[in-house]
């Protein structure tokens, strides 16, 4: 499925701290200044809702942009300029998107090195635990992948990590690299590390998870962006503060793992819906007291 032409993909996670009281333009300028100091890489990934701050719920409505406006003179336009300047693919993290129907979404976007929009993804699982995301934002309804010279790239967002069926759908669509912009809290850091490894291992993909750092509206964020290979091994991991994480994705390794240990070929799609369920509860007379 892929028109891949490179054997090693150089990737950078730009792990940003939450925005302070500065305006959006200043926050975007800061992110771009970090990107401009990167060494030469093929793929750059930003975190979830970095332009507004995930926990700044009061800003969602005011700072929402349509995708068209964002590409014309908003967050996506600024990221497009740096993608062209650097000749790199950039997953611009996510921003609050306003649709033509007035609904708000947590939307990520992938730009090519020529500035072309290759993919958008609206977060499918909106978070409700001590969060207003599921009140303020609508859930997305579909997945997408982009066939690139780096390989087939898919995306999920943060809380999506807890839903393995979404990743199976991406695998069925041909994904080889899954990008995960996130704003994962420090309180559940162990879950973050475990789920990133599990999603990469069970789907035999490279998983590039770029998290926010620092503190956002009194919530400590985990940082610890990481890159996990198809064996579930963490090949690069950030610390808690704002930093850049660099890693090389060996695409030949991905192919060899899938060929030599073809677990994905042993799947039984639809097993949850077409397999009979037997009652394994013993009769009361046979139970031990």
Give pLDDT tens digits for 101-117: 999 999 999 999 999 99
Give pLDDT tens digits for 41-93: 999 999 999 999 999 999 999 999 999 999 999 999 999 999 999 999 999 99
Assigned domain for 93 exists: yes
- pLDDT reported for residue 274: 60
Query: Is residue 282 very low, low, confident or very high in pLDDT (cuts 50, 70, 90)?
Result: low
Contact between 51 and 216 (Cβ < 8 Å): no
Q: Is-catalytic flag, 123?
A: yes
Q: How many domains does the chain have?
A: 1
The residue annotated as part of the active site, out of 48, 63, 65, 97, is 48
Assigned domain for 99 exists: yes
- pLDDT reported for residue 289: 46
Query: Is residue 276 very low, low, confident or very high in pLDDT (cuts 50, 70, 90)?
Result: low
Q: Compute φ and ψ for 105, nearest 5 degrees.
A: -135, 155
Query: How many other C-beta atoms can be found within 10 angstroms of the C-beta atom of residue 56?
Result: 16
Assigned domain for 1 exists: no
Q: What percent of the chain has pLDDT over 70?
A: 92
3-state class (DSSP) for residue 200:
helix
CA distance 35 to 87: 12
Q: What percent of the chain has pLDDT over 90?
A: 86
The residue annotated as part of the active site, out of 10, 63, 97, 123, is 123
Q: Is-catalytic flag, 13?
A: no
Can you give the CATH number for the domain in which 232 is found?
3.60.110.10
Its domain, for residue 81, covers 8-286
CA distance 177 to 155: 8
- pLDDT reported for residue 272: 65
Q: Is-catalytic flag, 210?
A: no
In this model, does residue 4 exceed pLDDT 60?
Answer: yes
- The helix-helix angle for 75-86 and 24-36 (nearest 10°) equals 10
Assigned domain for 3 exists: no
Q: Tokens standing for 272?
A: 């949850």
Q: DSSP label at 216?
A: E
Assigned domain for 2 exists: no
Mean pLDDT over all residues of the chain? 93
């Amino acid at each position: 499925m892929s028109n891949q032409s490179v054997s090693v993909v150089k990737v950078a996670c730009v792990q940003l701290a939450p925005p302070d009281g500065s305006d959006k333009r200043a926050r975007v300028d800061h992110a771009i200044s970090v990107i401009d100091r990167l060494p030469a890489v093929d793929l750059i990934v930003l975190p979830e809702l970095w332009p507004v701050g995930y926990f700044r719920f009061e800003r969602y409505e005011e700072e929402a942009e349509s995708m068209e406006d964002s590409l014309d003179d908003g967050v996506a336009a600024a990221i497009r300029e740096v993608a062209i300047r650097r000749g790199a693919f950039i997953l611009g993290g996510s921003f609050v998107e306003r649709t033509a129907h007035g609904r708000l979404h947590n939307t990520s976007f992938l730009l090519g090195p020529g500035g072309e929009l290759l993919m958008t993804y609206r977060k499918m699982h909106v978070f409700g635990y001590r969060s207003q995301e599921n009140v303020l934002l609508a859930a997305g309804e579909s997945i997408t992948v982009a066939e690139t010279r780096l390989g087939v790239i898919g995306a999920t967002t943060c809380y999506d990590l807890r839903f393995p069926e979404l990743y199976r759908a991406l695998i069925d669509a041909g994904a080889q690299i899954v990008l995960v912009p996130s704003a994962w809290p420090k309180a559940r850091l162990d879950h973050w590390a475990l789920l990133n490894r599990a999603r990469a291992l069970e789907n035999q993909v490279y998983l590039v998870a770029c998290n926010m750092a620092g503190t956002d509206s009194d919530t400590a964020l985990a940082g610890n962006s990481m890159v996990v290979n198809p064996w579930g091994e963490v090949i690069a991991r950030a610390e808690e503060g704002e930093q850049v994480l660099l890693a090389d994705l060996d695409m030949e390794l991905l192919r060899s793992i899938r060929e030599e240990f073809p677990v994905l070929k042993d799947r039984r799609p639809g097993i949850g819906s077409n397999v009979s369920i037997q009652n394994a509860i013993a009769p009361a007379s046979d139970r031990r007291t």
